[in-house]
Amino acid sequence: MSEGVSISEADLHAYADGLIDAAGRARVEAYLATHAGAAEMVADWMAQNDELCAAFCGHAVSKSSDLQLLSGSLPNRSSVASRHRLALAAAAVVIFALGVAGGHYGPSVLPIWGNEPQIEMTASETLPREARDAFLVYASEVRHPVEVFANEETHLAMWLGKRLSIADLKVPDLQRLDFRLVGGRLLPVDGQAGAMLMYEDKTGRRITVLLARNAGNRTTSFRFASADGVETFYWIDGDLGYAVTGEISRETLQAIADECYRQFPS
C-alpha cells in the first residue's frame, strides 16, 4: 500500500468492530498487512471486545437492526432513542468477527510507528487521555480534590448538567460497590466544558467519572485504555462520552462503569 494512503483511527475501530463495508475492509486489511504496529493494536482491541462482550452481552439481545442503529442510519431518531442504550451492549456481540495477530495496548492511545503515515485521532479517542490526566491531577489532592463536595450533590448535578446541557444529569450512586461520592468539578475536555465526579472507598482509593460532549463522533463503543497502572473504561452514548478511571482492577472498574451506565440518562 502506498505510504500516502490515509487510514484514520475511526477506520481501524470500524474494522475491529465489524462496522465497515467490504471496500473499506479490504483497504484496512491491505494497510494492516504492511503495518505491524497497527495490526497489533487492532488485534488488542478485538481481544478487549471479547472481554467486554463477556461482561455486557447479557444486558441485551442482538437484533438484525443493531448495526443500523449504531450507524445512525435509521430514519426516525426519536423512535430509536429508547433502544439506543440496549445497542451499546448489543454492539459487543458483533465486534470481534475478524482477526489479526495479537498485540499489546501501550501507554498512549495511538502510538507512532517509525515512518508510517500519521493516523488521525478522532475526538472520541482523546477521551481516555483526558480522563487519565484529570485522575492523575485531582485524585491525589487532599484539601481541594473537587470544587463542589458531596454535601451539595443536588447543586452539583444541576450546575454540571447546565454547563454540559444535560437537563436530567444524575450523579451515580456507587455505594453498592463501596464507593461514596466525594464531589465533582467542571473542567475542560477537548476544548469544551466537561464534568468530573470523584468517588472513594473506605480505604481511600479514588476513582473518577468524566463526562464530555462528543459532537464529532456518534459511534457507540466500549473501550479499555491502560497506562502505568491507571485503567480507564470509556464509552460513547449519542453525543456524550463517559470515562471511568482508577488505579484498580479491570473487574472492579467494569462493575463501576456498568453501574454508571445504568444510572446515567439515555
Q: Domains of the chain, with CATH numbers?
A: 9-94 (no CATH), 123-263 (3.30.200.100)
Count of CA atoms in the C-beta half-sphere (13 A) of 108: 6
DSSP letter string, 62-114: --TTHHHHHHT--S-HHHHHHHHHHHHHHHHHHTTSS--------SSSS---T
Rg (CA), the chain: 19
Nearest to 172 by CA among 209, 118, 119: 209
pLDDT of residue 98: 35
pLDDT in tens, 90-127: 444 443 333 333 333 333 333 333 343 333 344 446 88
Say how many C-beta atoms besides its own lie within 10 A of residue 259's C-beta: 18
Average pLDDT, 10 consecutive residues per value, the chain (266 residues): 64 83 86 84 79 63 54 49 50 38 34 37 69 95 94 96 92 97 95 95 97 73 85 88 94 94 85
Nearest to 195 by CA among 183, 184, 206: 184
pLDDT of residue 104: 33
